[in-house]
Structure formats: structure tokens, C-alpha cells
Amino acid sequence: MDLFQNKCYFINEISKKTCFNAVSTPKSVLYRGGKGNIMSQDKMPELLAVGESHQGCVRSHNEDNYLCISNYGGYCFAAVADGVGGHSAGERASYLCCHRLMLEWKALFKSDPAPTDARITSFLMDSVILANKDITGLNRMLHKKHHPMCTTLAAAVFTPQMVIVVHVGDSRVYCSRQNSFNLLTIDHTVQNELVEHGITAPEQLPSAHVISKAIGSDRYLKPELHTFFRTPQDRYLLCTDGLTNCLSNVEINKILAEAAAPRQAKDRLIRQTLMRGAADNVTVVAVFPKTDKDA
């Protein structure tokens, strides 16, 4: 379902959580250009974002949604959302989340054509909280107290010098940079919370892989946000766990590094996931620097 133009897409065809792959975790101090210096704005290329969502090989419907918007010069906004709640409920939650983000993004640029990074940070936090209010309000109206519809979210705003990431749940944002591959988000799962509390081998406990935080599951939500410096060569990926349940981090990085364009990377990631059986919905957004061929 293509609901919006101007490079903003919501795909509803096809979400559940399980997997934990250890990679580098965010410290919000990542990346400076050159020899420790912030890259100057005039050297930073604009970005091209391409996304796709697929219901996979097993699920009968798609509870994922995504958006990518790059029609504001120097700024790019991308997000993936993995709905939880079964059948239409999860699909509705992920749609409402992406829809709220898109509305707030348009309102931001209507009021400020060149927002600062601080303004972008506030926009992300406020928009996620509003999305949570939208979904929890609908849950109350539909009397879904015990089995609420909710959604994960991984969203990133790429400004001329920074990438600002917000997430809830276990959808992820990755950065492929030359010889490194970094996970810019930390899964909100029971397993990770147990690790933080010093419990060893939490993966052996029941429900260890269940998500511990989601948009719409509680009236009081604190999203996690990190900021990172960009470099001109960076390639980014936003994805739901339908991808990471099937492909290893090494495989994902190899596809990102070898792809000639974001569309090629997106196509290969989806195809490889389907070839592995794709037991879940899978959604990816690849974000690459623009080249002369993209002009």
C-alpha cells in the first residue's frame, strides 16, 4: 500500500521478535571524519534511501511498515516498524507509528527549513512519544488492556553532519564503514536486561528473547536515542528482526559493502532472507551516499 508520494512509503504486506546477535554496541561517541575531525558540511554527500517490506515465506500477512523521506535538501529520514499484536492489530500499530512520524516530519520542515541537530533530536523524541500516545489511546478505546497492539521502531535522521537514531524494541540500525560494521542500537529484550543485571547465560531462560519495550504497550515510554558523526563513505541499514533472524552480521555487512547502490543492497538482503525460509516478515531500508549515477 503506497500511501504517500515524495519518496515516503508505507508498505503493508507483511513481524515477531526473537534473536540476539552480538556486535559493536553504540556509545554515542562514534565516528569523526579524517584524523579525528568532524567532516565539513560541504564534503558530506547527500544520501539516497531505498526500502522494501515483504511478508516472508510463512506469515499470511505483513505487520511491518517503513518510511523513507529524502525530499528535503541535506536531510534524510528513515524508519522501520515491526507490529506486535497479531493479524491486523500489529499492522495497525506499525502504520500508526510511521504515519505519526511522517506528519511530524512534515510539520518540522514547514516551521523550520533548516533545523539544527538539537531540534531534530527533540523532534524524534517528541514524535515517538506522540506515536505511543496514539497507539495506547486506541488500545484503551478498543479495550485491549491485556493484549495491546504495539510496535517496535528503529528510526534515523541523517543531517549534513550527523546521524541521530531513536529506537524502541529490537528493530535495528547498522553502519557499514570501510573495515568496520557497527550496530547503532541495543535490542530492548528481556535477555539484554538480564545481562545488564549480571545474569549469565540468560538465553537459556524462558522468554529471554521477548522484547521488553514497545510503542503502545505502556502509557509511559522512554525511547533510546543516540547521535553519531557521519563520514562520506558510510552506508546504513535499518531493519526489522525478520532480517537478523536469518542473516548473520557478517553476511549483512558483505552485502552492504559489495552493493553498487542501495536498491541492489535492499534486493539482495530481501532475496537472501527469503532463500533462508523467512519465517517472519522482513523489512529493510538501505541508505547510501549519492553518486553521480544517482543524479
| C-alpha cell, 255 | 552485502
pLDDT band at 29 (very low <50, low <70, confident <90, very high): very low
In a domain, 253, yes or no: yes
Interval 72-83: pLDDT, tens: 888 999 999 999
41-62 pLDDT tens trace: 446 888 999 999 999 999 989 9
Whether residue 21 lies inside any domain: the answer is no
Q: Is the residue at 8 inside a domain? A: no
Question: Do residues 53 and 65 make contact, with C-beta atoms less than 8 angstroms apart?
Answer: yes
How confident is the model over 189-203, as pLDDT tens digits? 877 777 676 666 656
Does residue 262 belong to any structural domain of this protein?
yes
Average pLDDT taken over every residue of the chain: 83
Q: Is residue 22 part of a domain?
A: no
Query: What pLDDT is stored for residue 67 in this prediction?
Result: 96
Q: How far apart are the first and last CA of the chain?
A: 27
Let me know: does 215 contact 97? Beta carbons within 8 Å: yes
| 160 φ, ψ (degrees, to nearest 5) | -55, -25
pLDDT for 2 beyond 50: no
- Domain assignment present for 267: yes
In order, the DSSP letters of 203-218 are: GGSTTTTSBS--BTS-
More confident residue, 118 or 30: 118
Q: If pLDDT is split at 50, 70 and 90, which confidence band does 134 have?
A: very high
* Mean pLDDT within 210-226: 92
Q: Which CATH number is 224's domain given?
A: 3.60.40.10
- Contact (Cβ atoms closer than 8 angstroms) between residue 228 and residue 38: no
Confidence at residue 27, expressed as pLDDT on a 0 to 100 scale: 41
Residue 153 has pLDDT above 80, yes or no: yes
SS3 call for 21: coil
Q: Does a structural domain hold residue 92?
A: yes
pLDDT digits (tens, 9 = 90+) for 243-265: 999 999 999 999 999 999 999 99
Tell me the CA distances in angstroms from 83 to 17, 74, 177, 213, 214, one per residue in order. Answer: 10, 30, 30, 12, 9
Q: Give the per-residue pLDDT at 99.
A: 97
Q: For residues 97 and 81, give the distance between their C-alpha atoms in angstroms, rounded to a whole number.
A: 7
pLDDT digits (tens, 9 = 90+) for 83-100: 987 656 899 999 999 999
Give the residue from 39, 63, 38 showing the smallest Cα distance to 53. Answer: 63
The total of structural domains in the chain comes to: 1
**Residue 7: inside a domain:** no
Domain limits for position 133: 41-294
Least confident segment among 2-11, 30-39, 110-119, 159-168: 2-11
| Residue percentage of the chain with pLDDT more than 90 | 65
201 burial level (CB within 10 Å; 0-12, 13-18, 19+): exposed
